[in-house]
Protein backbone atom coordinates (compact mmCIF):
# COMPACT_ATOMS: atom_id res chain seq x y z
CA UNK A 1 0.00 0.00 0.00
CA UNK A 2 1.25 3.47 -0.82
CA UNK A 3 2.13 6.27 1.53
CA UNK A 4 -0.41 8.81 2.78
CA UNK A 5 0.56 12.49 2.66
CA UNK A 6 -0.88 15.59 4.31
CA UNK A 7 0.16 19.23 4.22
CA UNK A 8 -1.46 21.77 6.54
CA UNK A 9 -0.47 25.42 6.27
CA UNK A 10 2.92 24.57 4.76
CA UNK A 11 5.26 27.44 3.85
CA UNK A 12 8.76 27.21 2.41
CA UNK A 13 11.19 30.11 2.29
CA UNK A 14 14.86 30.37 1.43
CA UNK A 15 15.90 33.48 3.33
CA UNK A 16 13.93 36.37 1.78
CA UNK A 17 12.73 34.19 -1.12
CA UNK A 18 9.17 32.93 -0.51
CA UNK A 19 8.53 29.79 -2.55
CA UNK A 20 5.49 27.95 -1.12
CA UNK A 21 2.68 29.75 0.69
CA UNK A 22 -0.02 28.04 2.76
CA UNK A 23 -0.20 24.67 1.01
CA UNK A 24 -3.04 22.44 2.23
CA UNK A 25 -3.67 19.06 0.64
CA UNK A 26 -4.28 15.43 1.59
CA UNK A 27 -3.09 12.61 -0.69
CA UNK A 28 -4.48 9.12 -0.08
CA UNK A 29 -2.43 5.91 -0.23
CA UNK A 30 -1.98 4.73 -3.85
CA UNK A 31 -3.38 7.99 -5.22
CA UNK A 32 -1.74 9.42 -8.34
CA UNK A 33 -1.20 13.19 -8.26
CA UNK A 34 0.15 15.52 -10.95
CA UNK A 35 1.30 19.08 -10.22
CA UNK A 36 1.03 21.78 -12.89
CA UNK A 37 2.55 25.24 -12.59
CA UNK A 38 4.84 27.78 -14.18
CA UNK A 39 8.61 27.35 -14.17
CA UNK A 40 10.03 28.67 -10.91
CA UNK A 41 6.75 28.30 -9.03
CA UNK A 42 8.09 25.79 -6.52
CA UNK A 43 7.07 22.43 -7.96
CA UNK A 44 10.48 20.83 -7.42
CA UNK A 45 10.67 22.37 -3.93
CA UNK A 46 7.38 20.62 -3.12
CA UNK A 47 8.81 17.30 -4.30
CA UNK A 48 11.95 17.84 -2.20
CA UNK A 49 9.75 18.42 0.85
CA UNK A 50 7.91 15.15 0.21
CA UNK A 51 11.23 13.31 -0.18
CA UNK A 52 12.57 14.75 3.09
CA UNK A 53 15.40 16.59 1.31
CA UNK A 54 14.02 19.92 2.55
CA UNK A 55 11.90 20.79 5.60
CA UNK A 56 9.00 23.27 5.70
CA UNK A 57 9.73 26.72 7.08
CA UNK A 58 6.47 26.38 8.97
CA UNK A 59 3.30 24.33 8.84
CA UNK A 60 2.80 20.58 9.17
CA UNK A 61 3.88 18.00 6.61
CA UNK A 62 3.25 14.30 7.19
CA UNK A 63 4.40 11.46 4.92
CA UNK A 64 3.54 8.04 6.33
CA UNK A 65 6.56 6.22 4.84
CA UNK A 66 10.25 6.91 4.29
CA UNK A 67 10.37 4.42 1.42
CA UNK A 68 10.63 6.99 -1.37
CA UNK A 69 11.82 6.62 -4.96
CA UNK A 70 12.77 9.78 -6.87
CA UNK A 71 12.89 9.91 -10.69
CA UNK A 72 14.81 12.94 -11.92
CA UNK A 73 14.32 14.71 -15.25
CA UNK A 74 17.84 13.64 -16.26
CA UNK A 75 18.90 10.04 -15.54
CA UNK A 76 21.97 11.00 -13.41
CA UNK A 77 23.35 7.47 -13.65
CA UNK A 78 26.90 6.73 -12.50
CA UNK A 79 28.71 6.49 -15.85
CA UNK A 80 31.47 4.08 -14.75
CA UNK A 81 28.96 1.59 -13.33
CA UNK A 82 26.88 -0.84 -15.37
CA UNK A 83 23.08 -0.84 -15.24
CA UNK A 84 23.25 -3.67 -12.70
CA UNK A 85 25.77 -1.79 -10.55
CA UNK A 86 23.71 1.42 -10.68
CA UNK A 87 20.68 -0.45 -9.35
CA UNK A 88 22.58 -2.40 -6.69
CA UNK A 89 24.12 0.89 -5.52
CA UNK A 90 20.71 1.94 -4.10
CA UNK A 91 19.63 -1.53 -2.94
CA UNK A 92 22.01 -4.48 -2.73
CA UNK A 93 19.03 -6.84 -2.39
CA UNK A 94 17.15 -5.60 -5.47
CA UNK A 95 15.85 -8.19 -7.91
CA UNK A 96 17.66 -6.74 -10.92
CA UNK A 97 16.37 -9.14 -13.54
CA UNK A 98 12.76 -8.66 -12.50
CA UNK A 99 13.08 -4.87 -12.50
CA UNK A 100 14.66 -4.84 -15.95
CA UNK A 101 12.06 -7.27 -17.27
CA UNK A 102 9.21 -5.02 -16.09
CA UNK A 103 10.80 -2.08 -17.95
CA UNK A 104 11.69 -3.98 -21.14
CA UNK A 105 15.43 -3.87 -20.49
CA UNK A 106 16.15 -7.61 -20.51
CA UNK A 107 19.70 -8.32 -21.57
CA UNK A 108 21.07 -4.85 -20.74
CA UNK A 109 22.11 -5.39 -17.10
CA UNK A 110 25.82 -5.32 -17.91
CA UNK A 111 25.75 -2.36 -20.29
CA UNK A 112 27.13 1.03 -19.30
CA UNK A 113 24.91 4.16 -19.51
CA UNK A 114 26.85 5.50 -22.51
CA UNK A 115 25.90 2.35 -24.44
CA UNK A 116 22.16 3.00 -24.01
CA UNK A 117 19.73 5.29 -25.82
CA UNK A 118 18.15 8.23 -23.99
CA UNK A 119 14.88 6.35 -23.50
CA UNK A 120 16.70 3.30 -22.13
CA UNK A 121 18.70 5.45 -19.70
CA UNK A 122 15.46 6.97 -18.45
CA UNK A 123 14.04 3.48 -17.93
CA UNK A 124 17.13 2.69 -15.83
CA UNK A 125 16.52 5.93 -13.93
CA UNK A 126 13.00 4.69 -13.20
CA UNK A 127 14.26 1.21 -12.28
CA UNK A 128 16.68 2.78 -9.79
CA UNK A 129 13.79 4.60 -8.09
CA UNK A 130 11.76 1.38 -8.00
CA UNK A 131 14.69 -0.70 -6.70
CA UNK A 132 13.99 0.56 -3.17
CA UNK A 133 10.38 -0.81 -3.33
CA UNK A 134 8.96 2.68 -2.71
CA UNK A 135 5.63 3.42 -1.10
CA UNK A 136 5.93 6.89 -2.63
CA UNK A 137 7.21 7.40 -6.19
CA UNK A 138 8.16 11.01 -7.04
CA UNK A 139 8.79 12.04 -10.65
CA UNK A 140 10.20 15.47 -11.51
CA UNK A 141 9.43 16.09 -15.21
CA UNK A 142 10.70 12.58 -15.81
CA UNK A 143 9.46 12.37 -19.42
CA UNK A 144 10.11 15.94 -20.62
CA UNK A 145 13.08 15.16 -22.86
CA UNK A 146 11.66 12.03 -24.51
CA UNK A 147 10.10 11.54 -27.93
CA UNK A 148 6.34 10.99 -27.81
CA UNK A 149 6.38 7.25 -28.56
CA UNK A 150 9.12 6.59 -26.01
CA UNK A 151 7.31 8.80 -23.46
CA UNK A 152 4.05 6.89 -23.84
CA UNK A 153 5.83 3.53 -23.65
CA UNK A 154 7.60 4.46 -20.41
CA UNK A 155 4.45 5.98 -18.90
CA UNK A 156 2.69 2.70 -19.66
CA UNK A 157 5.52 0.87 -17.87
CA UNK A 158 5.03 3.13 -14.84
CA UNK A 159 1.28 2.60 -14.80
CA UNK A 160 1.68 -1.16 -15.15
CA UNK A 161 3.98 -1.18 -12.12
CA UNK A 162 1.56 1.07 -10.23
CA UNK A 163 -1.30 -1.37 -10.87
CA UNK A 164 0.86 -4.16 -9.47
CA UNK A 165 2.37 -2.41 -6.42
CA UNK A 166 -0.10 0.45 -5.68
CA UNK A 167 2.50 2.95 -4.52
CA UNK A 168 1.48 6.59 -4.15
CA UNK A 169 2.68 8.64 -7.11
CA UNK A 170 3.38 12.38 -7.34
CA UNK A 171 4.61 13.80 -10.62
CA UNK A 172 5.51 17.30 -11.81
CA UNK A 173 4.93 18.08 -15.47
CA UNK A 174 4.25 20.92 -17.92
CA UNK A 175 2.41 18.55 -20.29
CA UNK A 176 -1.38 18.61 -19.82
CA UNK A 177 -1.96 15.28 -21.60
CA UNK A 178 0.78 13.64 -19.55
CA UNK A 179 -0.88 14.87 -16.34
CA UNK A 180 -4.27 13.54 -17.45
CA UNK A 181 -2.78 10.20 -18.50
CA UNK A 182 -0.94 9.59 -15.23
CA UNK A 183 -3.05 11.18 -12.50
CA UNK A 184 -6.26 10.69 -10.55
CA UNK A 185 -6.11 14.36 -9.51
CA UNK A 186 -4.22 17.40 -10.77
CA UNK A 187 -3.06 20.21 -8.49
CA UNK A 188 -2.74 23.53 -10.29
CA UNK A 189 -0.52 26.05 -8.54
CA UNK A 190 0.01 29.79 -8.85
CA UNK A 191 3.23 31.67 -9.57
CA UNK A 192 5.72 32.13 -6.72
CA UNK A 193 5.06 32.27 -3.85
CA UNK A 194 2.81 29.45 -4.98
CA UNK A 195 -0.48 28.26 -3.58
CA UNK A 196 -2.74 25.46 -4.74
CA UNK A 197 -5.37 27.37 -6.71
CA UNK A 198 -7.35 24.51 -8.24
CA UNK A 199 -7.79 20.75 -7.85
CA UNK A 200 -8.88 19.01 -11.04
CA UNK A 201 -10.28 15.48 -10.63
CA UNK A 202 -9.49 13.26 -13.62
CA UNK A 203 -12.69 11.42 -14.54
CA UNK A 204 -11.09 8.74 -16.70
CA UNK A 205 -10.91 4.96 -16.25
CA UNK A 206 -7.82 3.44 -14.64
CA UNK A 207 -6.64 2.10 -18.01
CA UNK A 208 -6.47 4.98 -20.47
CA UNK A 209 -5.66 5.73 -24.07
CA UNK A 210 -3.33 8.65 -24.76
CA UNK A 211 -5.42 9.49 -27.85
CA UNK A 212 -8.93 8.94 -26.45
CA UNK A 213 -11.60 11.60 -27.24
CA UNK A 214 -12.44 11.89 -23.53
CA UNK A 215 -8.82 12.60 -22.58
CA UNK A 216 -8.66 15.24 -25.31
CA UNK A 217 -11.90 16.81 -24.05
CA UNK A 218 -10.47 17.04 -20.53
CA UNK A 219 -7.29 18.52 -21.97
CA UNK A 220 -9.43 21.35 -23.38
CA UNK A 221 -11.05 21.95 -19.98
CA UNK A 222 -7.66 21.94 -18.29
CA UNK A 223 -6.23 24.34 -20.87
CA UNK A 224 -9.03 26.82 -20.14
CA UNK A 225 -8.17 26.73 -16.43
CA UNK A 226 -4.46 27.22 -17.16
CA UNK A 227 -5.18 30.23 -19.38
CA UNK A 228 -7.40 31.81 -16.73
CA UNK A 229 -4.59 31.93 -14.17
Output the CA–CA distances (angstroms, integers) from residue 161 to 30, 70, 101, 102, 208, in the order listed. Answer: 12, 15, 11, 8, 15
pLDDT per position as a tens digit, 33-79: 999 988 888 899 999 999 999 999 999 999 998 889 998 877 889 99
pLDDT, tens only, 98-129: 888 888 888 899 999 999 988 888 889 888 98
**Cα–Cα distance, 126 to 121 (Å, whole number):** 9
One-character DSSP codes across 142-174: TTTTS-HHHHHHHHHHHHHHHHHH--EEEEE-S
Q: In terms of DSSP H, where are the helices of 34-113?
A: 43-51, 83-90, 96-102
> Residue 127: which of 94, 78, 165, 173 has the closest Cα?
94
If you classify domain 1-67+136-141+164-229 with CATH, what class do you get? alpha beta
- For the chain, which residues make up each domain, given as ranges? 1-67+136-141+164-229, 70-133
The overall pTM is greater than 0.85:
yes
CB 114 within 8 Å of CB 77:
no
Amino acid sequence: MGASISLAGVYKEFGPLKVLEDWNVVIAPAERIAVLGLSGSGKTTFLRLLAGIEAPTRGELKVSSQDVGFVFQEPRLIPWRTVRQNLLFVNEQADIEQLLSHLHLQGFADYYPTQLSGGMRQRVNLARALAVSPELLIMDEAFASLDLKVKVDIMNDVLGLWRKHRFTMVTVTHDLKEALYLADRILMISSRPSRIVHEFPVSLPEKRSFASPELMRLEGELLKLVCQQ
